[in-house]
Amino acid sequence: MVKWHKSAVPTTLPPLVALAPMAGVTDIPVRAQVKVFGGRYCVSEMVASEQLARDRIDMVRRAAGSGVISPLVIQLAGREARWMAEGARIAEDAGADVIDINMGCPSKSVTSGLCGSALMRDPETALRLIEATVTATARPVTLKMRLGWDHASLNAADIAKRAEDAGVRMITVHGRTRQQFYAGSADWSAIAPIVEAVRIPVIANGDIASADDARRALALSGAAGVMIGRAAQGRPWLPGAIEHALLHGGDATPPPRERLLASLLALYDDTLAFYPERLGVRVARKHIAWTIDAVLGSSAREARKAICMLDDPTRVRAGLHALFGDAPDHPTTRSRTSDDGCANPVDARRAGAYSIAHASAHRPRHAPANP
């Protein structure tokens, strides 16, 4: 049974199914396509709070999305309270509806800087960051973490209780320790003690790739919802399809191939429009590769390689059409209802038109004093 905090919970919290924050993956074009397929709650890539405050363009780009993604959930990372507070203020000014704190990333490049899941080794510092973030913004603040640093320090329940007392409104727990990285299997039952420890919603994360996985994770953890991560790479339809299956029964089935092609083409165009030209080409290649693998499997390996070596967008589009087959229908021109359980499509191309300059115009012009 879900335990609720005595204060009001925003209607966007808790999501039944959410898209996880993934660096280098969940940018605006990807989240826009997840929304096309009915995914209701999508978290941004991890945004380094200090670099955001210093106007580093890649972090400003990650924090963009107002008017395109709703609700706009921006995840912040950092190791100093003042930068987390400033990052929260910037995110709110940029249109964030929810601000998430990263205490779960296991990457060595992040934990070596005492950020991400490294904060679970220092709960006092973690709580200072949480308190600074909550105090700095009127938006709901959520927290994503792991079970602990390792199996000798499974302190997620204790941190969760203290985070709740500090004002955090929802907690997502990946069912592994940091030292496990992504080895083995996520332990959904190990999330149950965190659910029991707090009154706010808890979301289960880790290895959820199907509706049956989601059902088992919910049953074993008692969580209020699930978060989908790596399984959504190349499958922007998956979070919406899993939510539809949880609500209405059955499996999470993929849309028709022509719709998947149309989505990939929209994602490709949005990615080229969103990033500088050469960067956009490189970013788009991994989404093309993931989608071909997800839809066509190993039989299309050589065709995937050939398409991903192309730089000319016209040739890339032609190659995708030839590989997938022509798609006469496009998700942006479909009717407002669909027969495959996906939510109403939206014009995802607005994502590509979104201006980074516009995002910068909605944030403070100066970083905090004494950087």
**CA dihedral of 84, 99, 158, 204, whole degrees rounded to 10:** -140
Quick one: pLDDT at residue 325?
81
Q: Which residues contact 1 (CB under 8 A, 6 or more apart)?
A: 222
Domains and their CATH numbers in the chain: 17-248 (3.20.20.70), 257-339 (no CATH)
Could you count the other beta carbons within 10 Å of the beta carbon of residue 70?
15
* Chain CA centroid to CA 146, Å: 16
Question: Contact 127/171 with Cβ under 8 angstroms?
Answer: no
Quick one: pLDDT at residue 338?
34
Instruction: Tell me the C-alpha distance between 50 and 148, whole Å.
Output: 25
105 noted as active-site residue: yes
SS3 state of residue 314: helix
Nearest to 333 by CA among 27, 66, 36, 67: 36
Amino acid at 368: P
- Which of 42, 105, 115, 342 is flagged as catalytic? 105
Q: 369: burial class by Cβ within 10 Å (0-12, 13-18, 19+)? A: exposed
Instruction: Tell me the C-alpha distance between 8 and 90, whole Å.
Output: 24
Task: pLDDT tens for the chain, 371 residues: list them.
Answer: 333 333 334 557 889 999 999 999 999 999 999 999 999 999 999 999 999 999 999 999 999 999 899 999 999 999 999 999 999 999 999 999 999 999 999 999 999 888 999 999 999 999 999 999 999 999 999 999 999 999 999 999 999 999 999 999 999 999 999 999 999 999 999 999 999 999 999 999 999 999 999 999 999 999 999 999 999 999 999 999 999 999 999 999 999 999 999 999 999 999 999 999 899 999 999 999 999 999 999 999 999 999 999 999 999 999 999 999 843 343 332 322 233 333 333 333 333 333 333 433 443 333 343 33
Quick one: pLDDT at residue 310?
96
Of the chain, the end-to-end C-alpha distance in Å amounts to 46
Sign of CA dihedral 287, 290, 294, 298: positive
Per-residue model confidence as pLDDT tens digits over 129-157:
999 999 999 999 999 999 999 999 999 99
SS3 state of residue 352: helix
Q: What is the pTM of this model?
A: 0.86
Quick one: pLDDT at residue 114?
86
Question: Contact 346/35 with Cβ under 8 angstroms?
Answer: yes
Nearest to 57 by CA among 286, 272, 279, 268: 279
Structure tokens at 296: 């066509």
Instruction: Tell me the C-alpha distance between 307 and 206, whole Å.
Output: 31
Quick one: pLDDT at residue 13?
82
Instruction: Tell me the C-alpha distance between 3 and 197, whole Å.
Output: 10
β-pairing, 141-146 vs 73-77, is unpaired
Peptide linkage before 15 cis (omega within 30 of 0): no
